[in-house]
A and B are shown apart, each in its own frame.
Chain A
């Protein structure tokens, strides 16, 4: 607040900079995020990956699936930065083209899983009772499966392709979101202003979307970021197992699988897609951790 701000009711100072709490909170949050160097690096990495995914494919000179048997299994050189694979395709080009796939799987699956999970969590926490028990027990069942196993099971039902990987990873991230949102909803539901709005005769939908949802947003954002990392890892894992993106698409997990047979002699074929996965996962993880610290009201000074 501006210093020298008079507190008397009548003397409303004219030149006070009015900011919506949302704007103020965002500035505050950015300020704290800036102090966390690791998170900032994560954030820049994510921006970098997005740039690579969007404009990268237009800048590469080789075709993604340009097979060239005269130069297969070549080591990294100025010609082929990351070398070529067993069919003579340029690995660097393929990784650039694969970035989009990876990010798309991460964002889309978390978006879908997040929306469904949030709705289930809010309904569960707001209404409580039997609805709560049924939803949360079902979430417990989903949680009881190891993540990759659940995704495998879903893929084997739906069949292996790119869209189904997104769906599988989305389903597997639902319970995490539902739990987090339910917890925050339980806390928010008890606030007096929710009672006040209820006493005014507001419909449940208004209370849920206008008064409860904004309060569960910050844990939700943190969880989404961290969940994107998990989603990328799971999707790559599925592709590696041959259940996700099908060849010849340049998905990183699938490329890793291609390189597996040549690992001992031509390690770089597997190394570079592997590094790319590590980089993406790391970026989202450290950015998510930084977000959590920055959004945590307890860490406020």
Chain B
């Protein structure tokens, strides 16, 4: 697959200051995202997974420049978004849209569906005024709603329908990249499947690229081409979907995958249970951030930050950030339990 890179995130850091003391000085930082790099190819779906607080949503918000990142570059179509001024960025926002988690909070309850969609078109001036209504109806039908519901208000819709309106709003400006921030997490399972299938269909129709932020591996497995696993603000493993699910290398990824329930009660799985909680991102552990909970950790893990790299024997494009990938794979190093 020789697709061109649409989005390239390089050394992204997002530190949130903690104010304290008498004069509101910055006493420390929450290192929500710490040196994350990845790229998204045109037309693919890249998923960002990890447990709560690992910085996946923060990464998404940084790409959208809803929060300005501390450091790093975000290249979209070869252009650094962080170097743009406010006005240039406003124009560029047409290309990158977002679908939020909560379908109840992401629509203004005072606006009708038509007003919501027309506002999007008006801001980016993509459709002339007379044709906006027609286009709004068309958009609703694209996302599987009835065109005659265009004058209704958000409270008249169910959660799944609202999420479809959110998708229609994102589509209204004809974006290239859509960031789905936990877009289906708030929906029940049957509606989740419908919305996911809708997203897939839209991707084929409009050649969309998705950055899919989720914590549910089942959902991720359904929709992704490639997957990034994050832990405490860092990328621990990147691989295409098949490789990651069948042949994970990083101990954290393995633990995550072992937590997926199997429908067959006869199948005995090796369940890796991680001890303790996620450490605080204010004072993250030294070296490999996972070493405090890793069953394979050795001394070197507490001292050196592991590099995210391909360890030779792994598939192309598969990279993991662990000192002991080789030893674990060969069975030389066993878990300490």
Contacts and interface: CB of A to CB of B under 8 A. Distances in A.
Interface stretch (B3-11, B143-151, B213-221, B293-301): B143-151
Interface stretch (A5-13, A39-47, A73-81, A165-173): A5-13
B124 A191 contact: no
Contact of A201 (B90, B110, B169): B90
Contacts of A203: 90
Given A21-B110, A200-B124, A214-B110, A195 B91 contact: no
A22 B100 contact: no
Interface in A199-255: 199-203, 206, 210-211, 214
Give the most central of A18, A192, A210: most B CB within 10 Å.
Answer: A192
Contacts of A193: 105-108
B105 A199 contact: no
Nearest to A194: B108
Contacts of B227: none
Interface of B: 61, 64, 66, 89-94, 96-98, 100-102, 105-110, 112, 119-120, 123-124, 145-146, 148-149, 151-153, 155, 158, 161, 166, 169, 173
Interface in A126-174: none
Contacts of A199: 64, 66, 93, 96-98
- Nearest 10 Cβ contacts at the A-B interface: A201-B93, A201-B90, A192-B106, A192-B105, A192-B100, A193-B108, A199-B98, A200-B123, A202-B123, A200-B120
Interface in A20-74: 20-22
B161 A9 contact: yes
Contacts of B153: 20-21
B163 to A, nearest CB: 12
Contacts of A211: 108
B145 to A, nearest CB: 7
Given A195-B106, A214-B110, 17 more contacts: A7-B158, A12-B149, A21-B153, A192-B101, A192-B102, A192-B105, A195-B100, A196-B107, A198-B66, A199-B97, A200-B97, A200-B119, A200-B124, A200-B169, A201-B90, A206-B123, A211-B108
A197 B97 contact: no
A182 to B, nearest CB: 17
A205 to B, nearest CB: 12
A22 B90 CA distance: 30
Given A7-B158, A191-B105, A195-B100, A201 B91 contact: yes
B72 to A, nearest CB: 19
Contacts of B96: 199
Given A9-B146, A21-B155, A195 B90 contact: no
Contacts of B169: 196, 200
**Range of interface residues on A (Cβ < 8 Å):** 20 to 34
A211 B169 CA distance: 16
B146 A10 contact: yes
Contacts of A10: 146
Contacts of A191: 105
A203 B93 CA distance: 12
Contacts of A206: 123
B98 to A, nearest CB: 5
A199 B90 CA distance: 8
Contacts of A200: 93, 97, 119-120, 123-124, 169, 173
Contacts of B148: 12
A195 B94 contact: no
B181 to A, nearest CB: 9
B98 A195 contact: yes
A21 B151 CA distance: 12
Contacts of A21: 109-110, 153, 155
B82 to A, nearest CB: 16
B119 A197 contact: yes
Nearest to B115: A210
Contacts of B91: 201
Nearest to A19: B153
Nearest to B153: A21
8 contacts: A7-B158, A192-B102, A195-B61, A195-B100, A198-B66, A199-B97, A200-B93, A200-B123
